[in-house]
A = this chain, B = another copy of it.
Amino acid sequence: MAKAARTKLPTILITNDDGITSPGIRNLVEAVKELGKIVVVAPDKPQSGMGHAITIGQPLRMNKVDIFEGVESWQTSGTPVDCVKLAVDKILHRKPDLCLSGVNHGANHSINVIYSGTMSAAMEACIESIPSIGFSLMSYNYEADFTGARYYIREIVSTFLKKKMDKHLLLNVNIPAIPLELIKGVKICRQAYAKYEEDFKQRKDPHGKNYYWLTGAFVNYDKGKDTDVWALENNYISMVPVQFDLTNYTLKTQLEKTWKIK
C-alpha cells in the first residue's frame, strides 16, 4: 500500500458562483478528486456578480444532490459566501483543509476580484482561516476547453497540499482559454489597476417605461509587466495572492500627518 493511501486525505471544500450544474465546477471536481476527500457545497442557480453578498433577510435552503459520482454534494439557495458559511457550520461541522472555488466562467483578474462571487467565496474561507484558491477561465463559452485548466489546477493544488499552507493563504488564479501546450506557466502577479467604463443600455417596456441593462468596457490603466492582466495577455496563468485587510496604510500615514479633525 502506497504511503499516500495510508495517510489521511485532506478534506477539500469546493464551491462556485455559476451554480452547481455549470461545467466549471464539474471540471474543478474532476481535476482534484484524487487529491482529497471532496465535498461540494454550491449555489442552486447562477450567482455571478454577487460579490461578498450574504443572505440576511431570508432563510436558506440546502439539499443533498447526486451530481458528481462518488462525491458528497449539496446545493443551497444562498450566495457563494453563504455556501462556505453553511458548509463549515452545518455540513462539515469543522473547517476543511482547503477550499477551492470555481472554475469561474470568465475572467476574475484585476478589479473583477471585487465583484466576483467566486473570489468572495474563497475570501470567506480565508477569513475563516481556511487556505483557499479561486480559479477562473478566461472564457464565457459553455463549451470552453478546460484541458489546460484541469492540468494546471491539479499541479497547483497538489503543490500547495504538499506544503504547510498559511491558514490565510488566498490566491486568485486566472487561466487563459488556450490549448494546454500554449500555456507558458504560472506567474505570481499583483492585481492590475483596471476598471469598467459603464454604459447602461436603455430599453422600453411594453408600457413605455425605461429600464436599463448594465454593460461596460474593460479598460486597463496599468502598464506594469507584473500584473495579472499582462500575464494573461502573454499566455501565462496569473496567480495573485489576495488579502482581506483593506486598510490603505499609505493613506493612513498621510492622514495622521496632515489631517486635524477634532
A residues with a Cβ closer than 8 A to B are 46, 48-57, 59-62, 81-82, 85-86, 88-90, 111, 113-115, 120, 123, 127-128, 155-156, 159, 163, 166, 169-170, 185-186, 188-191, 193, 195, 198-200, 202-203, 209-214, 239-249, 251-252, 255-256, 259-262
On chain B, the residues within 8 Å of A198 by CB distance are 85, 88-89
Contact B249 A190 (CB under 8 A): yes
On chain B, the residues within 8 Å of A191 by CB distance are 245-247
Partner pick for A61 among B190, B211, B239, B244, CB 8 A cutoff: B211
On chain B, the residues within 8 Å of A111 by CB distance are 127, 244
Please give the distance in Å from A49's CB to the nearest CB on chain B.
4
Partner pick for A156 among B120, B128, B261, CB 8 A cutoff: B261
On chain B, the residues within 8 Å of A185 by CB distance are 261-262
On chain B, the residues within 8 Å of A82 by CB distance are 214
Query: What are 25 A-B pairs with beta-carbon distances under 8 A?
Result: A51-B81, A56-B214, A59-B203, A60-B211, A60-B214, A62-B212, A82-B214, A89-B198, A89-B199, A90-B200, A111-B127, A114-B127, A155-B261, A155-B262, A163-B259, A188-B255, A190-B245, A191-B245, A239-B255, A239-B261, A241-B251, A241-B255, A242-B246, A244-B246, A246-B246
